[in-house]
Structure 1
Amino acid sequence: MKKQLTHAYALFLLTGTLMMVFLLIRIVFYLYNHSFFGMVSLPEAVNIMLCGFRMDLSSIIYVNALFILLYSLPFPFRYHHTYRKMLFILFIITNGIAVFINVADIFYYPFNTKHLTVEVFSLLSDFARLMPEFLTGYWYAVVLFSVLLFCMGLLYRWADAKNNPPAVFHYLKQTLIFLVIAALSFCGARGSLGRKPLLPIAASKAVGFTKAPLATNAVFTLMFSVNKPPLKELSYFHPDSLATIFPLEKKYERKTERLNVVMIILESFSAEFCGFLNSFPGYTPFMDSLARHSIVYPNMYADGERSIKGLSAVLAGLPNLMEEEIITSQYQTNCLPGIGYFLKQMGYHTSFFHGGINGTMNFDVFTRAAGFDHYFGKNEYGNDKDYDGAWGITDEEFFLFAARQINSFPEPFCTAIFSLSSHHPFFIPEKHRNRFPEGPEPIHKSIRYADYALRQFFNAAASAPWFSHTLFVITADHSFPTQSPANSFYASIAGQHRIPLLLFQQGIPPATDSVMVQQHDLLPSVLDYLGYPHQIKSFGNSIFSASGKRYAYFAIHSTCYVFDNRFLLVFQPETNTSCLYRYPEDPALKEDVSRQLPGIRQEMERYIKAALQTHNSVIIHNRLCP
């Protein structure tokens, strides 16, 4: 019988080899991203390894399902030289792709603070263009991947050498072995002997949501996001009571002059980088000076971690409660009335500027859906001399181009400008290489450059006749969590989403408003400020109108976070469970205080449930149209 099991033994060795590779990647992942997780205690490390073992095994079996089938077929041709060579090629290709995904995820994580999911496929065209930049900027990732791939090849040869054909091939025994391998593979892929298979959310239950990314892997999260089911219709509340908890319909009574609007969305501008929002020096001298003549909102938070989610929140008021972006989801044909749509009803000319290659991240498609009739990108700029070689036109030149174009627009107009240069690889034009000092992080120098470009835009716009009667809204698409946060607050989940918000209008009394605000509040806020006369449907609330208790909220990997200035609630819709934390004093979210403060937990859980139920119903039934 032992000689009949040589292929099963070899398969066991190959699985063990891949488990060791995945474990090594997990260790490198932690070492590279340790600032996001802090110290890991011994009990936590044990739980991470145990949970990670299940998720790695499940991933490996899914990836190698075809290989396992072909390697264990109960027929003697599996020992043929050509057949074994084909299996080797299959093993290297499939597992090479899996290892590439996990290695890339190590260096992707700091940009989005989450593992890769299906949304990465929306960036394939950009990824192919940026590959040379990635290979040079992250050469050590290429080295790591190459070493792992080479070692897998050697270990495959070693393990497969144990797979010697038996002297007599027993079909019955081989069939039984095949069935046992199939059954074990099925159990391993499910990751559970219970009724429900292993899901990514199990990591949060096993090790806590703050350490959950250490227990799972990118292959696992990617697989489970590919066939993500549609949104579920929720029924936490009766529709009548839901409307009182989370009203969708808004109407504002403000009477004002018909101002122009310029919305400036700054790439990766964390609040941590802005001196005017902190007690320590920043990298934004112009914004610091502008803040002294603006209304400043220090409690402004991003809805998502990626540009397209930030854009959909700022321009269309969409909160981040879906795993993927709505523009690439099955709901992409929904009516998405944005600021452009509403202001066109008031006779506004609408335009959107982004110096990136036309089509990048579907910005052109989305902004058109949000009511912006005119799109200005790299093609419209028309001069590759100012192309950064990666994303598009450098900020200074493109901002000045936008200022010139705006001068030709009929008034009133609504224009949105999205910056670019503070995106990796943080390109600085040659003429400015020595103008801006380096900071502790590579992004800091490009933040200084983007701030300088913003200054040039305002210098150019200040002499234009439209400047004096224009509302400028300046914010960011998302934050950029740093490896070494300036203080403990920026290490928290809330701090990692904090971004700047300035409202500037010539002659406006400067002020600081501590109201809780998110990107999806900007649509109703701008419409309220401009005196939009009609009723709207909006997830957000105007910062100029009373709306009761205000919270910020978003979802990451199906886990919902809702917080105010004192408390943060973590809600798991799948299990209907929640934890409450005093996050300003406990940024690592170690002490659950929900038992001591049940009233606060219930109030915040009630709010996020109402937000989820409203969001899902509105998106499923396409109810945003006026």
Structure 2
Amino acid sequence: MRNRFAFQPRYFLFWLAFFVVAKAVFLLYHFGKAGTLPAGTLAGIFGYGLRLDASAAAYLSLVPFVLLMAGSLLGNRAGTDRLIRFYTAVTGVLVAFLSTADLELYRTWGFRLDATPLQYLNSPAEMAASAGSAPLLLLIGAFIGLLLLGYLLYNTIVGRLPQLPAGFGRGRAALASLLYAVLLVVPLRGGVQQIPINQSDVYFASQPFANHAAVNVPWNVVNSLTTLRDTDPARYQFLPDSTAQRLVRPLYTYTDTPAADSATTGLLRTARPNVVFIILESFTAKLVGSMGGEAGITPNLDSLARTGVLFSNIYAAGDRSQKGLVALLSGYPSQPTSGGIIKSPRKTEQLPHLARSLKQAGYSTQYYYGGELAFANMKSYLMTAGYARLTERADFPKSQQNSKWGAHDHVLFDKVLADLRTQRQPFFTTAFTLSSHEPFEIPIPRKFRGTDETALFRNSVYYTDWALGRFLHEARQQPWYDNTLLVLVADHGHTLPGFSAVDSPDKFQIPLVLAGGALRPEARGRVVRSLGSQTDIAATLLAQLQLPATGYRWSRDLLRPVQQPSAFYCYNDGFGFVTPAGSLTFDNVSGRETSRTKGVPSRQLRQGQAYEQLSMQDYQNK
């Protein structure tokens, strides 16, 4: 017969065992990554992760321990047992749901589930569309499996609440329950050390996946909820500010010697051309043939690259659309946080913006998107920018909202073409595509075989390029085209094809092409190999338009040489820093490098840290 006073330790052990099972399910789901790890590293995932698992188990045990203390005083064993079982069932369903959602979100985002999905609750349709490519049957099976395993574990380890031993008073029983509750403080804090446990305590390996796998999902979600506002700036204080400024200065200091592939004169035939700024969803360099990627996926973009100006060494500033949007249109770096600056209208109001700069120069301004602009708080950012007209999903007829996200890309481009016929010139028109976002559904027959996610993604990029080709064919016949500059660039890269690591530079490399009738003939066919970032496009464009870019302090002209070319990018709680010497990546949680190419000097790590430090200070101060 089970002892009443072993009930609380058994309850704690139940949650601990459940988290171990959930960790095993995570590794099985990501067997492609887990299978490459040595046996010792796999064991370390469970061993090092046990502290966070114990902390989460302690939090989940608090309520039952208090209920048991109250039940002991009242002498109501059956009622207490029912309450504890009900609480465990509710929390068990929630924990199983979070663990299941994390399985697929990690594959897509590259970091464990945290509070990030809460930022999209005001856009449920977009959330559903984003999850459209997920293997729902497999995930439902995993969810049910976790529930069944949890049920079996509870009945095996915990079971029914036993009666008090004969002669053992209620007060003494309540005191014993209280002592157990007090003891929870130790696992709850992760030990008796001065600083409570955090994610860095379970980071133990050189492989990011192993460190991520050791993290406890419910603990991570709750912890991130407590830090949804601003991130502690001290966390990014690596160097004295004067040292950080000295290290970053060469990245933005122009030299007098022109680079071999930089233009010594302007690229444009006129200082005030129309500008059509096209942001291509998830267009990774890995699928752009003119950048050395797979051939035949983007024939129209490749054609523009051959007849326009191709920037072949550009990196996205972040890994989400909302981060790319701010980098492109405000020349502002991304933050190593889940949401980025766009989630804070108070901060984005202080950013410069291309639409505002060009509006002041006499341009009419318009923004087009086939989805809902409320997604990721984009609308507040764009309205602050001063666009005269915003076109989004609701502005398209229901019959044209033929994508889970809204209107497909060819519909979007048709709308842009129709409006430009009567648009006052010069105009600055921004169009953001969406069809190459998950779930990668397209309205034309598939070009490439296969039904796996990579094939679906490849076909969706091909479709967007096809829609771009239709747009270009019609645009070239319009009277405004000869005086128009086309800017084509991705919002961010993608893990596909090849399932690039979350911090891998090839995940962040993207195309940038300048084209259109406004280009000078001698500029056509130029390939600019200078290293740069999305954040540099704003200053580059303004320089070609002979407009000041003094407010864009984090942006530089890609056609002017600097002392040290570079590209800085962020992912969740980490950064990458690329220079001509090579690349390195750094994880902020563990405080360690996760990769470094051969020949990269140690100074480059300090420069990357300095850049992150100063950009985060700027973000915090806005």
2:61 equivalent to 1:61: no
**Cα distance in 2, alignment partners of residues 128 and 158 from structure 1:** 41
Alignment correspondent of 1:165:
163
Alignment correspondent of 1:151:
149
**Cα distance in 2, alignment partners of residues 339 and 251 from structure 1:** 22
Give the deviation of 1:240 after TM superposition. 9.3
Alignment correspondent of 2:504:
493
Equivalent residues in 2 for 1:128-527 (5 A)? 130-131=127-128, 134=132, 137-168=135-166, 169-171=168-170, 173-206=172-205, 208-209=207-208, 211-228=210-227, 229-232=230-233, 234=237, 236-238=239-241, 242=245, 245-246=248-249, 257-278=271-292, 280-323=294-337, 324-329=339-344, 332=347, 334-381=349-396, 383-429=397-443, 432-433=444-445, 437-438=449-450, 440-482=454-496, 484=498, 493-506=504-517, 507=521, 508-527=523-542
Please give the secondary structure, in 2, of the residue aligned with 1:500: strand
Alignment correspondent of 2:115:
118
Structure 1 pair 129–339 and aligned structure 2 pair: CA distance change class (3 A) = closer
User: Is contact 2:98-2:217 (8 Å) kept?
Assistant: yes
Structure 1 pair 5–303 and aligned structure 2 pair: CA distance change class (3 A) = same
Please identify, of 499-508 and 149-158, the stretch whose mean Cα deviation from structure 2 is larger. Answer: 149-158
Structure 1 pair 283–110 and aligned structure 2 pair: CA distance change class (3 A) = farther
Please identify, of 169-178 and 439-448, the stretch whose mean Cα deviation from structure 2 is larger. Answer: 169-178
Aligned residue type for 2:141: V
Deviations for 1:503-547, whole angstroms, at most 9, x for unmatched residues? 113344212122112111111111112111362232122201222
User: Is contact 2:540-2:556 (8 Å) kept?
Assistant: yes
Please give the secondary structure, in 1, of the residue aligned with 2:366: strand
Give the deviation of 1:93 after TM superposition. 1.8
Equivalent residues in 2 for 1:602-613 (5 A)? 602=603, 604-613=604-613
Aligned residue type for 2:5: L
Structure 1 pair 250–185 and aligned structure 2 pair: CA distance change class (3 A) = same
Deviations for 1:445-467, whole angstroms, at most 9, x for unmatched residues? 11111111111111121111221
Give the deviation of 1:159 after TM superposition. 4.0
**Cα distance in 2, alignment partners of residues 433 and 172 from structure 1:** 74
Structure 1 pair 244–535 and aligned structure 2 pair: CA distance change class (3 A) = farther
User: Is contact 2:330-2:354 (8 Å) kept?
Assistant: yes
User: Is contact 2:247-2:607 (8 Å) kept?
Assistant: no
Deviations for 1:201-245, whole angstroms, at most 9, x for unmatched residues? 334445553532122143333222222254416483455982783
Structure 1 pair 425–527 and aligned structure 2 pair: CA distance change class (3 A) = same
**Cα distance in 1, alignment partners of residues 189 and 146 from structure 2:** 26
User: Is contact 2:8-2:65 (8 Å) kept?
Assistant: no
2:19 equivalent to 1:19: yes
Give the deviation of 1:608 after TM superposition. 2.1
Unaligned runs of 5+ in 2: 256-263
Equivalent residues in 2 for 1:573-592 (5 A)? 578=593, 581-582=596-597
Deviations for 1:79-98, whole angstroms, at most 9, x for unmatched residues? 54344323222212223222
Deviations for 1:37-70, whole angstroms, at most 9, x for unmatched residues? 7710122112222122222222333345334432
Please give the secondary structure, in 2, of the residue aligned with 1:465: coil
User: Is contact 2:100-2:139 (8 Å) kept?
Assistant: yes
Please give the secondary structure, in 2, of the residue aligned with 1:550: coil
Please identify, of 88-97 and 471-480, the stretch whose mean Cα deviation from structure 2 is larger. Answer: 88-97
**Cα distance in 2, alignment partners of residues 535 and 129 from structure 1:** 36
TM-score (norm 2): 0.87
**Cα distance in 1, alignment partners of residues 238 and 47 from structure 2:** 35
User: Is contact 2:341-2:619 (8 Å) kept?
Assistant: no
2:107 equivalent to 1:106: no
User: Is contact 2:299-2:465 (8 Å) kept?
Assistant: yes
Give the deviation of 1:140 after TM superposition. 1.3
Structure 1 pair 540–183 and aligned structure 2 pair: CA distance change class (3 A) = farther
Corresponding residue to 2:554 among 526, 539, 544: 539
Give the deviation of 1:106 after TM superposition. 1.3
Please give the secondary structure, in 1, of the residue aligned with 2:198: coil
Please identify, of 235-244 and 179-188, the stretch whose mean Cα deviation from structure 2 is larger. Answer: 235-244
Deviations for 1:67-124, whole angstroms, at most 9, x for unmatched residues? 4432455725475434432322221222322221221121112322222232221111
Aligned residue type for 2:153: L
**Cα distance in 1, alignment partners of residues 565 and 602 from structure 2:** 15
Give the deviation of 1:167 after TM superposition. 3.4
**Cα distance in 2, alignment partners of residues 344 and 81 from structure 1:** 72
**Cα distance in 2, alignment partners of residues 148 and 95 from structure 1:** 9
User: Is contact 1:299-1:516 (8 Å) kept?
Assistant: yes
Alignment correspondent of 2:3:
3
**Cα distance in 2, alignment partners of residues 534 and 9 from structure 1:** 64
Please give the secondary structure, in 2, of the residue aligned with 1:219: helix
Alignment correspondent of 2:88:
91
Aligned residue type for 2:248: I
Please identify, of 403-412 and 271-280, the stretch whose mean Cα deviation from structure 2 is larger. Answer: 271-280
Please identify, of 199-208 and 294-303, the stretch whose mean Cα deviation from structure 2 is larger. Answer: 199-208
Q: How many pairs were matched up?
A: 598
Aligned-pair Cα RMSD in Å: 3.2
Percent identical residues = 23
Please give the secondary structure, in 2, of the residue aligned with 1:298: strand
Give the deviation of 1:128 after TM superposition. 5.7
Please identify, of 411-420 and 103-112, the stretch whose mean Cα deviation from structure 2 is larger. Answer: 103-112
User: Is contact 1:300-1:501 (8 Å) kept?
Assistant: yes
Structure 1 pair 204–166 and aligned structure 2 pair: CA distance change class (3 A) = closer
**Cα distance in 2, alignment partners of residues 546 and 136 from structure 1:** 44
